[in-house]
Amino acid sequence: MTRGLVIGKFMPLHLGHVALIRFAAAQCDELIVSMSYKPNDPIHASIRFEWLQEFFKNDRKIITAISLDDFDDESLPLDQRTQLWANFIQKRFPPIDVLFSSEEYGEPFARNLGVKHVLFDREREKFPVSATKVRESPLRYWQFIPENIRPYFVKKICFYGPESTGKSTMAKHFAKRYQTEFVPEVARELITSNDFSVDDIIRIGKAQTERVKEKVKTANRFLFCDTDLITTEIYSQKYLKVIPEILIELEKEIHYDLYFLFDIDVPWVADGLRDLNNQREAMKKIFEEELVRRNIQFVRVSGTWEDREKIIDTALEARFPLDEGR
């Protein structure tokens, strides 16, 4: 029986890693894929290992393992450093026959293990990507991120502000522009007037949160959200004079990567739920104060519809540059 080994941090797992592991598995009876981690890694170890297990769960040849990296010494020359790795691997796993890698460490590591080394795509010609590049610019390297990992890197964009300022229109517009999903103001699906109860507002908060979690699974790079839980809290305070504690907890469950605060300098359009036309200035102030109080940075959106679109476009391109088509 031939037992192979692939090691890595997989921070995150990308299609270059996948190709290496598939290449190695094809040449082994059993392949150990060992993921190492440190407590302060930028992507938590449990998340990364779950990704790894999920991706290879149907391949019986592949055995995934996780180990705390408390044995390495980056100050040592590579040959001495990989001797530490070899000592750990020999204690941690059954005997290894062949090491597969795409890295400079492969040869000295294999030599210290006393096994054969097989190099794969060292120059990154087939997969011009690295985990560092994915972490730094996930949207640029989107095509190299496995589908089960993409939701972690989706940029959630919140269109935020008082009633009748164009948030819904822009959320739909930009979702279409970027060929992705948008999250509507779920309250409009659940209530027909502003005569609602505490139970209703809690139901709205839960539904809004769940809709974001649902849509992020199928989003393409961006998820445009028309409202958030801060908005739910604002209207709870406005109409019910209370903010249920659960709304504050739900707010913590979703992190938005960029907020756009919509100004009130567009015509008011009445509908079944909008009834604060005479309080637009006051509501605008409340919305902004809630962001400031939380130290949330935001981009102001004002002017004509064309102006609004240009402001959003410019901010997205500056914050999340893309090298390829949307």
Domains in the chain and their CATH numbers? 3-144 (3.40.50.620), 154-319 (3.40.50.300)
pTM: 0.90
- pLDDT of 325 reads 40
- pLDDT of 274 reads 55
Out of 48-52, 304-308, 320-324, least confident range: 320-324
- pLDDT of 273 reads 57
What pLDDT band is residue 326 in, cutting at 50, 70 and 90? very low
Give the chain's mean pLDDT. Answer: 93
- Please state, in angstroms and rounded to a whole number, the distance separating the CA atoms of residues 119 and 117: 6
Which of 271 and 225 is assigned the larger pLDDT? Answer: 225
Which pLDDT tens digit goes with each residue over 132-167?
A: 999 999 999 999 999 999 999 999 999 999 988 999
Q: Does 322 score more than 50 pLDDT?
A: yes
- pLDDT of 110 reads 97
Which pLDDT tens digit goes with each residue over 193-206?
A: 777 899 999 999 99
Which of 129 and 188 is assigned the larger pLDDT? Answer: 129
